[in-house]
Amino acid sequence: MDGQVFDKTKLPSRHVTEGPSRAPHRSYLYAMGLTKAQIHQPLVGVASCWNEAAPCNISLMRQAQAVKKGVAAAHGTPREFCTITVTDGIAMGHEGMKSSLASREVIADSVELTMRGHCYDALVGLAGCDKSLPGMMMAMVRLNVPSIFIYGGSILPGSFRGQPITIQDVFEAVGKHSVNAMSDEDLDEIEQAACPSAGACGAQFTANTMATVSEAIGLALPYSAGAPAPYEIRDRFCMTAGEMIMELIARNIRPRDIVTRKALENAATVVAASGGSTNASLHLPALAHEAGIEFDLFDVAEIFRRTPYVADLKPGGRYVAKDLFEVGGVPLLMKTLLDHGFLHGDCLTVTGRTIAENMEKVRWNADQDVVLPANKPLTKTGGVVGLRGNLAPDGAIVKVAGMKTQQFSGPARCFDSEEECFEAVSSKTFREGEVLVIRYEGPKGGPGMREMLSTTAALYGQGMGDKVALITDGRFSGATRGFCIGHVGPEAAVGGPIGLVRDGDVISIDAVAGTIEVALTDEELDIRRRDWKPRDNGFGSGALWKYGQGVGPARYGAVTHPGGQFERRAYADV
């Protein structure tokens, strides 16, 4: 990039830095120590989700400095800014979780507004936890300025009595403890051992799933998703991203050149192949929506159905994110998928090259069993399955990776909030063979579509994971295992059938056939619907009220600007 001269008359930052009328604007930039030369170079927004809420984001400030060095080395002027996060692990199991999915929208919106307001020419975005990853990528596609995504990296595995552990073991320990199968002392020991470093939850949970997506969709540099947060090699990826963003400006390569329908299919493919988080079936439609591409839960489910499950990662399998990185990272997973025809190789990426070109130097590693060859998979279909039926006309999702059985039928036991169900689980006032139904927890109903790891992990920890099924219009953690069906739509709050079910109605789920049915006739459902009345969710003002008013259905990604609208007028072109 040495000597690259950028034509400022074509870049958005000209509105801030060029001509006599912008003298006041330049005064502010001089006030922050910028030189004349720096002011007239391209301005690159370095958006970081750094804060002290959780280990996922704590290393982002360090990494952002490396990005800035890279930008400066390639004759750009980096401008760092931070946005909020809500970290699921700490928001879990209480009202705080209602803020989680809503935070994805706030992150996307806040990055959008900072970029627009200051006319930055490009964006390098760093994100470390479940909602900040999709939120940051959504902002990139929405703004459509040259962008590179950087993941903060995974946490290192913990160790408990010689066994590697993750946060999942602590959530499940709560269930063991509740049935007196674990002592207070052991619970104390495990909670102190599970999280030994900075970084996002360590297995193929939601953050690592979306990090895998960031490489497969083409917005992140190859290998950059895999290195754990404390590893100094992350800083090298960050430096390179900083240099590379200047090249993307020069070549005018934008996120919507990258995030195409085929790229979204590639993203869904790596989720299924790695037994990733069900949350991806929300985030991929949301990302698609930013690009004006129709790609809903059923499109995601169709890819899931035809994709082999090859990466033996927790929660369904044996290994964690660090293990995947050590054997070859996301490129190794993509290599076998590409070689066996499961990925589109012709999609452009932020390297300026296609997926197939990026893969040219990647060699298959036969000396490992973290990723199996795609022609010899763990199972022939993906680790996550879409469902549809009279209980979920707008679809539902279940993770089958690692599950012994794929069919379940039993009488419903209904709860109108997660708390009511958690209480029944803790006091064991439910029976083996039942289908626990948690409703009024959808995007509008909660509001906020809570993630329910406390309840599902408690069930699993009690040894009830495959003895009951759980269905909800809310959602699950990437660490959830057991027969747990989420995103059931339409949600109860808008009159969906899940709100019409009564205790004892027989519910049948078949993950092989892809169905979810309640044994009620259409006539009976109609009669019950006539008696149904909407409920007040208790939020009359503030961010969650606003979210509940605007949010669309889970099937289309639970976005707050639904209705087929997307940002057609990329701000960089104005």
Ligand X SMILES: CC(C)(O)[C@@H](O)C(=O)O
Return the SS3 of 309.
strand
Closest CB to Mg ion among residues 245, 286? 286
Angle, CA of 189, 191 and 195, to the nearest 5°? 115
CB of 571 to ligand X, least distance (A): 31
Contact present, 475 and 450 (Cβ < 8 Å): yes
Cα-Cα-Cα-Cα dihedral of 361, 366, 367, 370, to 10°?
A: 90
Q: Is 131 annotated as a binding residue?
A: yes
Q: Is 478 in the site for ligand X (CB under 6 A)?
A: yes
* Closest residue to Mg ion: CB criterion: 88
Count, residues near ligand X per rule CB under 6 A? 15
Q: How far apart are CA 386 and CA 267, in angstroms?
A: 16
Two structure tokens written together for 71? 């930008």
- Residue of 50, 120, 205, 556 interacting with ligand X (CB under 6 A): 205
Residue 460 burial (C-beta neighbours within 10 Å; 0-12, 13-18, 19+)? buried
381 binds, among ligand X, Mg ion, none (CB under 5 to 8 A by kind): none
Q: Give how far the C-alpha of residue 201 lies from the chain's centroid of Cα atoms, to the nearest Å.
A: 12
Q: Is 414 annotated as a binding residue?
A: no
Query: SS3 for 424?
Result: helix
Does residue 477 interact with ligand X by CB under 6 A?
yes
CA atoms within 13 A on the CB side of 524: 10
C-alpha to C-alpha distance for 49 and 57, rounded to whole angstroms: 6
Dihedral sign from CA coordinates of 133, 61, 91, 539 = negative
Residue 566 — φ and ψ, nearest 5°? -145, 165
Note whether 451 binds ligand X by CB under 6 A: yes
Catalytic residue list: 477
Q: By CB under 6 A, which span of 328-336, 364-372, 471-479, 565-573 interacts with ligand X? A: 471-479
Dist. CA 59–CA 283, nearest whole Å: 24
Q: Which is nearer to Mg ion, 134 or 228 (CB)?
A: 134
Task: Count the neighbouring beta carbons within 10 Å of the beta carbon of residue 532.
Answer: 12
Which 371-390 positions form the footprint of ligand X (CB under 6 A)? none
Residue 98 annotated as part of some ligand binding site:
no
**Cβ nearer to Mg ion, comparing 121 with 451:** 451
DSSP string of 257-300? HHS-HHHHHHHHHHHHHTT--TTHHHHHHHHHHHTT----HHHH
| Choice from 154, 197, 206, 281 touching ligand X (CB under 6 A) | 206
Stretch that binds ligand X, among 134-142, 346-354, 440-448, 472-480 (CB under 6 A): 472-480
Q: Is the CB of 88 or the CB of 434 nearer to ligand X?
A: 88
Residue 78 and residue 69: Cα distance in Å, rounded?
Answer: 8
520 binds ligand X (CB under 6 A): no
451 is in an annotated binding site: yes
- DSSP letter (8 states) at residue 558: -
Q: Which of 17, 38, 147, 277 binds ligand X (CB under 6 A)?
A: 277
Nearest to 136 by CA among 82, 69, 91: 82
User: Of 240 and 279, which CB lies nearer to ligand X in the complex structure?
Assistant: 279
Residue 371 CB, nearest approach to ligand X (Å): 20
Do the Cβ atoms of 124 and 196 come closer than 8 Å? no
Q: Indicate which single residue of 370, 479, 493, 511 sits in contact with ligand X (rule: CB under 6 A).
A: 479
- Decide whether 312 or 451 has the Cβ nearer to Mg ion: 451
Q: Across the strands, what pairs with 165?
A: 158
- Dihedral of alpha carbons 488, 490, 491, 492, sign: negative
State the minimum distance, in angstroms, from the CB of residue 131 to ligand X.
9
Q: Give the shortest CB-276-to-Mg ion separation in angstroms.
A: 12
Q: Where on the chain is the footprint of Mg ion (CB under 5 A)?
A: 88, 130, 206, 451, 477
88 is in an annotated binding site: yes
Residue window 294-323: x/- pattern of binding to ligand X, with contact defined by CB under 6 A: ------------------------------
Asked if residue 114 binds ligand X (CB under 6 A), the reply is no
Instruction: Assess contact for 154 and 164: CB atoms under 8 A.
Output: no
Strand, helix or coil for residue 163? strand
In this structure, what token pair is assigned to residue 389? 């039926």
- Among positions 41-100, residues that touch ligand X (CB under 6 A) are 88-89
We find the least distance from the C-beta atom of residue 41 to Mg ion, in angstroms, to be 39
Give 16 or 207: the residue with its C-beta nearer to ligand X: 207
Give the contact letters, 138-177, x = binds to ligand X (CB under 6 A), - = no.
-----------------------------x----------
Residue 313 DSSP label: B
Residue 201 sits in the site that holds ligand X (CB under 6 A): yes
Q: Is 130 in the site for ligand X (CB under 6 A)?
A: yes
Binding residues for [2Fe-2S] cluster: 56
Binding residues: 56, 88, 130-131, 451
Q: Which residues bind ligand X (CB under 6 A)?
A: 88-89, 130, 167, 201, 205-207, 277, 279, 451, 453, 477-479
Binding residues for Mg(2+): 88, 130-131, 451
